[in-house]
Amino acid sequence: MICCAFFSQESIEPYLKHIYTAGLIWDKIYGKYYLKSIQRVLKTNEDLVKLAILYHDLGKLTNEYKEGNRKNFRHELVGAYLAYKLLQENYAFYVSLAVMLHHESGILGIYAGEKGESFITLSTLRKVIDNANLTVYCDLTTDDPWYSKAKRIFGNEVDIINRELKNMNNREMYEIIKEIIIRTSVGSDKYLMEIRTKAASLLYPLTLVDSISAYYTRGDSKDSATWIASRALGIKGTRAEIPKREEIEELLRKEGIIK
């Protein structure tokens, strides 16, 4: 079965097509405006937005997600877990935090608000993670027709992730997610503000290119666009970003993503 980033009754959006499109839009367009500032904030020469794009939707490749348990099982947890586990220690935390929060209202609403809490409790997360089926239903290297193109942007990280997806452990995942939450909750106000500022520097461009990619790669689906993409592209109201819609669409036509 094809690895899928979005489906209802059938696959609508191949996983690697989604992240390749997001990575392409970031690499060729938005990175020109944001990358150097983000690197300065995070004190690194690495492109951490690109890594966040690669990891952000990995939970959608699990059988738990495919089988439709999308209300209780938030796919963001898987990407955050693997990013924290696999990336270099000096920046893994910020990538994993951005991945975990790229649908912040969803994760807070389900794990806190609907349970009458003002914050996410570890007991809630443990129950969700312990009961999750973390086996994956596809192989990125053989089941996704966009594998070779994705490798052009993300390199061997695609193969590393493909291997590690098959070795996920529920207990390890819970311990890592717990550590991420504790690190964002304990410390001085100055320390916590620094964490949030650094995570936000990744979170905004991640949600931006994620939304624009979904807008162009989900075809006629009702979920093909969010208010983020609509406003960034000027579809609704004043265009909120510097690049013009025409510039993005010219790039995507050259790559065969749109006609």
Report the DSSP beta bridge partners of residue 6.
13
Asked, for residue 52, whether it belongs to a domain, the answer is yes
Predicted confidence at residue 219, as pLDDT, reads: 64
Token pair of 93 as six digits: 């935390």
Condensed to tens digits (0 to 9), the pLDDT of residues 87-133 reads 988 899 999 999 998 765 445 545 444 444 555 677 778 888 899 99
Q: Which residues of the chain have pLDDT under 50?
A: 105-106, 109, 111-116, 224
- Report the CATH number at residue 38: 1.10.3210.30
Asked, for residue 259, whether it belongs to a domain, the answer is no
Asked, for residue 195, whether it belongs to a domain, the answer is yes
CB 44 within 8 A of CB 36: no
Predicted confidence at residue 72, as pLDDT, reads: 75
Asked, for residue 211, whether it belongs to a domain, the answer is yes
Q: How many domains does the chain have?
A: 1
Predicted confidence at residue 106, as pLDDT, reads: 46
3-state secondary structure of 77: helix
Predicted confidence at residue 120, as pLDDT, reads: 62
Predicted confidence at residue 113, as pLDDT, reads: 45
CB 232 within 8 A of CB 245: no
Q: Determine the structural domain holding residue 58 and report its residue range.
A: 4-254
Predicted confidence at residue 225, as pLDDT, reads: 55
39 Cβ neighbours under 8 A, 6+ residues apart: 45, 46, 47
Q: Global pTM?
A: 0.89
Asked, for residue 10, whether it belongs to a domain, the answer is yes
Q: How far apart are the C-alpha atoms of 144 and 142, rounded to whole Å?
A: 6
Asked, for residue 140, whether it belongs to a domain, the answer is yes
Predicted confidence at residue 8, as pLDDT, reads: 61
In the chain the first and final C-alpha atoms are separated, in Å, by 26
